[in-house]
Amino acid sequence: MTAHLAIYGCQQNQADGDRLRGMLLAMGYTMTDDRAGADLVVLVTCAVRKHAETRLLGHLGTYLHKGKPGRKVVLCGCMAQREEVRELLRKRYKQVSLSFGPADLGRFPEYLRRLMTEGGRHIITSPDTAPIEEGLPIARLIDPEINRANVTIMTGCDNYCSYCVVPYVRGRERSRAPEAVLEEVRGLVEDGVGEIWLIGQNVNSYKPDFPDLLRACASFEGNYQLRFMTSHPRDAGRRLFEAMASSPRIAPVLHLPAQSGSNAVLKAMNRGYTREDYLEKIRLAKETIENLTLSGDVIVGFPGETEQDFLDTLSLLEEVRFAKLFTFQYSARAGTPAAELTETLSPGEMKERFMRLLEVQKRIEEELGG
């Protein structure tokens, strides 16, 4: 039996994909790139923006016509955790035989066996939160050119930023035991992996302690470098920056999503810090970590964002001077508090601000020599 795995979205989905690939191989499947010819297609989906969902649902349509008779389509990941999507799958996308949410990752073999023995359709409502299952087989596709691997250290998020669906699809924060993470990192170092990413929705709230975990992961003999994603500015601080400066095995690279430079917008986003707090963290990081490379995220067009709020965001870029910036136009996500707010910009106005932001960032990157 052959299986095709298609992974959309973030590094956490990539890491979940590595486990799904491991479980498929352990069940005797052969992986194939041939989506049409596969006996089983597994889609690991992303729900962070409306566009991601619409695109995936568009792709699903192509699975209806082309493909091997009897082929089974499985949809998992964040979209499968949204009731709105499950309703669509039940009513419209009959080509999907099985769907389950991120917290049920470890139950995939059980669900697949049930599908293969009972047939029918299984649109499963998974729990929002469940302990991260240890011991699942992992099969990574490590590109020798990049030689990099992702290691999940925690999942879920308790921050409830007003625009974000992650807490509703990935559940409350839960962390893996330090021993399990260290064992996985040690194995990758021994396998000669050069770049190891410690990942989670908010690595800084890793329990018991992220700076300690980072130092411990940097203590193995070997030629490797550690990176991590994603940090929340409220939880990142002196202990993290000192840990980053403590070893050449920890890359002096910090991704710290700002989202906005306006205190009014940061408050409406429920980000939990002010512009001044954010700039103070950046100042401390630059002071503590030599040759620091900074990257960030910014959302343009949040409901209620005035021209002055937007100018505050542009001036924040001028002050921080990110080497790289991930930029987004606000996308209302059903079920989030922000989706109840009235959008104040037309699509044209949103685009205009977005282009002005890109221009400023492009100039800064050129000045930094990027």
The answer to whether 238 touches 284, Cβ cutoff 8 Å, is: yes
| Least Cβ distance, residue 232 to ligand SF4 (angstroms) | 5
| Least Cβ distance, residue 323 to ligand SF4 (angstroms) | 21
User: CB-based contacts of 145: which residues, under 8 Å, 6+ apart?
Assistant: none
User: CB-based contacts of 348: which residues, under 8 Å, 6+ apart?
Assistant: none
User: CB-based contacts of 303: which residues, under 8 Å, 6+ apart?
Assistant: 268, 330, 338, 341, 342, 343, 344
Which of residues 126 and 230 has its CB atom nearest to ligand SF4 in the complex?
230
Number of amino acids touching ligand SF4 (CB under 6 A) = 10
Three-state secondary-structure class, residue 47: coil
User: How many CA within 13 A on the CB side of residue 23?
Assistant: 21
Report the distance separating Cα 162 and Cα 87, nearest Å. Answer: 24
Which of residues 32 and 159 has its CB atom nearest to ligand SF4 in the complex?
159
Report the distance separating Cα 248 and Cα 240, nearest Å. Answer: 14
Tell me which of 46, 79, 98, 161 binds ligand SF4, using CB under 6 A: 161
Q: Is 160 near ligand SF4 (CB under 6 A)?
A: yes
Question: What DSSP state is assigned to residue 77?
Answer: E
Which of residues 35 and 232 has its CB atom nearest to ligand SF4 in the complex?
232
User: Which residues from 325-354 bind ligand SF4, rule CB under 6 A?
Assistant: none
Which of residues 163 and 310 has its CB atom nearest to ligand SF4 in the complex?
163
Q: Is 299 near ligand SF4 (CB under 6 A)?
A: no
Which of residues 218 and 258 has its CB atom nearest to ligand SF4 in the complex?
258
| Least Cβ distance, residue 115 to ligand SF4 (angstroms) | 31
| Least Cβ distance, residue 245 to ligand SF4 (angstroms) | 24
Residue 125 neighbours by CB distance under 10 Å: 13
Which of residues 93 and 273 has its CB atom nearest to ligand SF4 in the complex?
273
Three-state secondary-structure class, residue 96: strand
User: Which residues from 184-223 bind ligand SF4, rule CB under 6 A?
Assistant: 201-202
Q: Please count the helices (runs of H) and the strands (runs of E) in the chain.
A: 12, 14
| Least Cβ distance, residue 218 to ligand SF4 (angstroms) | 25
Q: Is 12 near ligand SF4 (CB under 6 A)?
A: no
Compose the 130-159 pattern: x for residues touching ligand SF4 by CB under 6 A, - for all others: ---------------------------x-x
Q: Is 236 near ligand SF4 (CB under 6 A)?
A: no
Q: Is 164 near ligand SF4 (CB under 6 A)?
A: yes
Comparing CA positions, the residue from 44, 194, 166 lying closest to residue 108 is 44
Longest dimension (CA), the chain: 62
Binding-site ranges for ligand SF4 (CB under 6 A): 157, 159-161, 164, 166-167, 201-202, 232
